[in-house]
Amino acid sequence: MRVSRRLLLGGLLGSVASQAFANAPLRSLRPVPRDAALARGAVRPATDLVAEARLSGKVAFAVADAETGEIIETRNPVLAMPPASVTKAVTALYALDRLGPDFRFRTQLIGTGPLVNGKLKGDLVLAGGGDPTLDSDALGDLAGRLKEAGLREIEGRFLISASSLPAIFSIDPEQPDHMGYNPAVSGLNLNYNRVHFEWKRAGGGGYDVSMDARARRYSPAVGISRMQIVDRRVPVYTYADTGGTDDWTVARRALGSGGSRWLPVRKPELYAAEVFQTLARSHGIVLPRAEVIGETPAGEVLAEQTSAPLRDMLRSMLKWSTNLIAEVAGLTATHADGKGVRTLAESAAEMSRWAKEKLGARKAAFVDHSGLGDQSRMAATDMVRALVRVREAGVLAPILKPFPMRNKNYEVVQNHPVKVRAKTGTLNFVSTLAGYVTRPDGRDLAFAIFTSDLSLREAIAPDDRDVPDGSRAWGRRSRHLQMRLLERWGKLPAA
């Protein structure tokens, strides 16, 4: 049976989310008393685990019975903290509610005139539908389908329309320019809006450098992103927007003998246009220089590329923590409800209102849909309340990533009796985890653990934002604390 767009969460997030929540889930912030096993030391107190972690900053957590909403244990339960990529779990629920699990993004080639004897008597429009997973292979297939439709040449222009979503230069302007996880967002995206930069040692002490739109089958070279090697020590990378191109420089001393990395694309429409021109040419179709336009003109759809269903896309997003999928899914969900927002902040504010209304997330205040911005806030009980409310619908747990339990050396423990499905979140001096715990007795718990030291984060120098001193050690301590808390909750005596 096809699930309608509103049926997905409507029944559970409305006035009868379930009768257990009619009087507000997690209504008590005091731990429920446990039996004498705790006093005998069978389960170590959470306060001891927090103290041993030696984490600077704040630690907040909440855990509840996933079926009844009964609160089990909390620390700083209503403290609003950065949720980092745990935000993506909320975004997944928001997108599923407003778009439905079977929603698909479409990228189309539209002809504005008739196709006569292989010649298009009009303009050819590459119209993006926002698909965040579109890659060079898909564009190559789209070019092949255009050839199969009988097109050989066009009399008019080659137009690019990305008006389905607002153009956003970068997800978080505070991130370093060269970080591939912080690309532009557009109605026409390609290769997660990243370009592949590769360098190899050449004769005379120089380097051979390439910039390409790398995918599995097609990796065409591109000119929209350019790289120059310069003699300096720092910064490793610089970026300049020169209008028609993304111009990068890299410090020679950082290159070594060779290597590669992904760099963000700031002009995704022009990037996709250049790649499509190259791939169309390989099919014998020569296109004129691309022109970016606003609204997509009317015409006949000559070829179309369709994405995977939204549910599968969100599963991938939660597994790999893909920022672009989160931002596109969130923006598309907002636009689907008739909100004509132009920025991520506006769309995130709409998701915040939705989360308060539908999930009971009273402290929710998001600035984006991915959690990359450190100004987003959520309380641990907000997240647990949301997890409890959607559990019966079964929409989130199946797409959350299994989270392996680990020993004191942080080695994976095979066949551990405690099973966890969760979403992690990591920023410098911010570490979060939220999801579901299945105990050995079969009881399901919903939990959220938020840790952060915002004073250390705010003190990071601009040139040190990639891996600041102390951030890795701080993150390790937080992850060890998360594991010890999960072990504790897996052993707590039943109520």
Rounded to the nearest 5°, which phi and psi values hold at 413? -100, 115
Half-sphere exposure of 48 (CA within 13 A, CB side): 7
Residues 413 and 111: their CA atoms lie apart, in Å, by 57
pLDDT at 134: 98
Q: With pLDDT > 90 as the criterion, what percentage of the chain qualifies?
A: 86
pLDDT tens, the chain, 495 aa long:
333 444 445 544 543 333 333 334 454 444 444 444 444 356 899 999 999 999 999 999 999 999 999 999 999 999 999 999 999 999 999 999 999 999 999 999 999 999 999 999 999 999 999 999 999 999 999 999 999 999 999 999 999 999 999 999 999 999 999 999 999 999 999 999 999 999 999 988 899 999 999 999 999 999 999 999 999 988 999 999 988 899 999 999 999 999 999 999 999 999 999 999 999 999 999 999 999 999 999 999 999 999 999 999 999 999 999 999 999 999 999 999 888 899 999 999 999 999 999 999 999 999 999 999 999 999 999 999 999 999 999 999 999 999 999 998 899 999 999 999 999 999 999 999 999 999 999 999 999 999 999 999 999 987 778 889 999 999 999 999 999 999 999 998 765
Residues 355 and 435 in one domain: yes
Give pLDDT tens digits for 31-89: 444 444 444 356 899 999 999 999 999 999 999 999 999 999 999 999 999 999 999 99
Residue 57: which CATH number? Answer: 3.40.710.10
Q: Are residues 237 and 280 in the same domain?
A: no
* pLDDT for the residue numbered 204: 82
For residue 433, tell me if it sits in a domain: yes
Q: Are residues 428 and 468 in the same domain?
A: yes
* Distance (Å, whole) CA 464 – CA 146: 47
Count of C-beta atoms within a 10 Å radius of residue 431: 27
User: Are 122 and 161 found together in one domain?
Assistant: yes
Q: Say how far apart CA 455 and CA 169 lie, in whole Å.
A: 28
How far is C-alpha 296 from the chain's CA centre? 27
| Domain-located, residue 392 | yes
Q: Into how many domains does the chain fold?
A: 3
CB neighbours of residue 480 within 10 Å: 18
pLDDT of residue 203: 83
Kindly report the length of the chain. 495
Q: Give the Cα separation of 403 and 424 in Å (integer).
A: 9
Residues 283 and 342 in one domain: no
Residue 322 belongs to domain spanning = 7-101+310-491
Asked whether residue 175 is assigned to any structural domain, the reply reads: no
Residue 494, pLDDT score:
65
Residue 35 lies in a domain: yes
Q: What is the dihedral of CA 298, 300, 304, 307, to 10 degrees?
A: 40
Tens of pLDDT, residues 168-179 = 999 999 999 999
250 in a structural domain: yes
Burial class (CB in 10 A: 0-12, 13-18, 19+), 54: exposed
**Do 297 and 322 fall within a single domain?**
no
Same domain membership, residue 111 and residue 240: no
Answer yes or no: is 185 within a domain.
no
- pLDDT tens-digit series, residues 331-365: 999 999 888 899 999 999 999 999 999 999 999 99
| CB within 8 Å of 277: residues ≥ 6 apart | 158, 287, 290
Q: Choose the final residue of a domain: 232, 250, 265.
A: 265
Please give the structure tokens belonging to residue 386: 């949301």
Q: How far apart are CA 174 and CA 149, in angstroms?
A: 45
Residue 404 sits in the same domain as residue 390:
yes
